[in-house]
C-alpha cells in the first residue's frame, strides 16, 4: 500500500513539475530576452547577440549577470518609454480598466440587488432576457456598436472605449447570487426598523456582499486590462492605444524589436501577476463558485 502511494505521488510530481516548467518557460524566456542588449562590445570587438540560441548561456554569478553570453541590462525597459508613448498607453489602460471596473461595481450591484430582493412586475422576464444575451457572440454586435460610436464622434475617445463595457451580465449574475444569499430575515428586521430600500441596499446587504465585490472588481479589472478586440476597433490614434494595442508597434514589416517587445510584455503582465498573488483567495474561490454555478 505504502509503495503504491509512493509511485502515484512520484508520477504526480513528474506531471506537475513538467507542466510548471512549461507554464513558466515562455515567461522566463521573455524575461531573458528583455534583459539582453541589442549588441555589445567586448575587447574592442562589436558582437551581435543571438536571443534565440539554445542553451541560452546564462550566468547569474557575475556582475552584471550574463544572458545569451552578453551582459544583462535594464536598458530595454527604459527604451520602451522613449521610443513609443508607453507611459500614455499605461495611463489609457488604467483609465479604461479603472472606469469599467468602477462602473460595473456600482451598476451591476444596483441591478443585482433589485433582481434579488425587490419585487416589481416583469422581474423574471427581464432577468432571463438579460441572461440570454450571454449567448450572443461579440462578432454580431461589434459592427453596429462601432457605427454608433462613429455617429456620435466617440471613436478615439475614452467614452468610446468604456461606455459599452460599463455593465456586464456576468457581473449582474454574480451580484444577484450574493444578494440572494443575504437572509431575508435581516432585511425584514431592518424594514421594521424603518430602513428604506436604499438604506437596506447600502448599509445592510452590500457590506455582506464584500467578497462578491472583490471578485467582480478583480475579474473586471483583469479582463479589461487584457482586452484587445474593443481597443483595436475603437482606437486608431496612437495616443489612444491601450497596452495590448501597443504591443504590435514593436513589429515593423522589416524588423521586429524583440527585446523591446518582450520588455513591454513583461511590463504589462507584472501588474496582473501582482494583483493575482495578492488576491489569490478570490481567484480560487471563484473557481469554486463558478463550478457550482455550472
Within 137-156, the residues that bind other proteins by CB under 8 A are 137-148, 150
Residue closer to other proteins (CB basis): 44 or 121: 121
In whole angstroms, the minimum distance from the beta carbon of 259 to other proteins comes to 10
In whole angstroms, the minimum distance from the beta carbon of 249 to other proteins comes to 11
Restricting to residues 175-204, name those near other proteins by CB under 8 A.
197-198, 201
User: CB of 244 within 8 A of CB of 231?
Assistant: yes
Q: Which segments of the chain does DSSP mark as H helices, in order?
A: 2-34, 75-83, 86-117, 123-132, 138-151, 158-162, 169-180, 184-192, 197-199, 206-208, 210-225, 229-234, 243-246, 258-278, 280-293
Restricting to residues 93-122, name those near other proteins by CB under 8 A.
107-108, 110-111, 113-115, 118-121
**Angle subtended at Cα 139 by Cα 105 and Cα 104, rounded to the nearest 5 degrees:** 5
Residue closer to other proteins (CB basis): 72 or 179: 179
- For other proteins, which stretch binds (CB under 8 A), given 25-33, 37-45, 73-81, 204-212? 25-33
Residue closer to other proteins (CB basis): 72 or 230: 230
Say whether 236 sits in a helix, a strand or coil: coil
In whole angstroms, the minimum distance from the beta carbon of 41 to other proteins comes to 23
Residue closer to other proteins (CB basis): 152 or 189: 152
Give 276's contacts (C-beta < 8 A, 6+ positions apart): 222, 283
Amino acid at each position: 500500500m505504502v509503495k503504491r502511494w509512493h509511485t502515484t505521488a512520484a508520477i504526480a510530481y513528474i506531471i506537475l513539475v513538467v507542466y510548471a516548467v512549461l507554464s513558466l518557460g515562455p515567461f522566463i524566456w521573455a524575461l531573458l530576452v528583455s534583459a539582453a542588449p541589442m549588441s555589445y562590445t567586448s575587447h574592442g570587438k562589436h558582437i551581435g547577440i543571438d536571443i534565440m540560441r539554445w542553451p541560452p548561456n546564462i550566468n547569474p554569478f557575475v556582475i552584471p549577470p550574463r544572458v545569451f553570453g552578453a551582459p544583462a541590462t535594464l536598458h530595454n525597459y527604459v527604451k520602451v518609454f522613449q521610443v513609443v508613448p508607453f507611459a500614455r498607453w499605461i495611463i489609457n489602460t488604467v483609465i479604461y480598466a479603472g472606469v469599467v471596473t468602477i462602473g460595473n461595481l456600482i451598476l451591476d450591484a444596483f441591478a443585482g440587488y433589485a433582481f434579488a430582493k425587490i419585487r416589481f412586475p416583469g422581474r423574471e422576464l427581464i432577468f432571463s432576457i438579460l441572461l440570454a444575451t450571454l449567448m450572443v457572440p461579440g462578432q454580431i454586435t461589434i459592427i453596429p456598436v462601432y457605427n454608433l460610436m462613429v455617429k456620435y464622434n466617440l471613436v478615439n475617445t475614452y467614452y468610446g472605449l468604456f461606455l459599452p463595457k460599463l455593465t456586464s451580465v456576468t457581473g449582474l449574475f454574480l451580484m444577484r447570487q450574493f444578494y440572494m444569499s443575504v437572509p431575508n430575515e435581516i432585511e425584514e428586521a431592518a424594514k421594521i426598523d424603518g430602513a428604506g430600500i436604499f438604506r437596506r441596499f447600502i448599509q445592510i446587504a452590500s457590506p455582506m456582499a464584500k467578497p462578491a465585490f472583490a471578485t467582480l472588481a478583480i475579474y473586471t479589472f483583469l479582463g479589461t486590462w487584457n482586452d484587445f478586440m474593443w481597443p483595436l476597433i475603437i482606437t486608431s490614434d496612437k495616443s489612444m492605444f491601450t497596452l495590448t494595442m501597443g504591443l504590435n508597434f514593436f513589429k515593423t514589416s522589416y524588423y521586429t524589436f524583440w527585446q523591446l517587445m518582450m520588455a513591454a510584455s513583461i511590463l504589462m503582465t507584472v501588474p496582473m501577476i501582482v494583483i493575482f498573488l495578492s488576491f489569490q483567495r478570490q481567484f480560487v474561490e471563484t473557481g469554486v463558485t463558478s463550478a457550482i454555478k455550472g
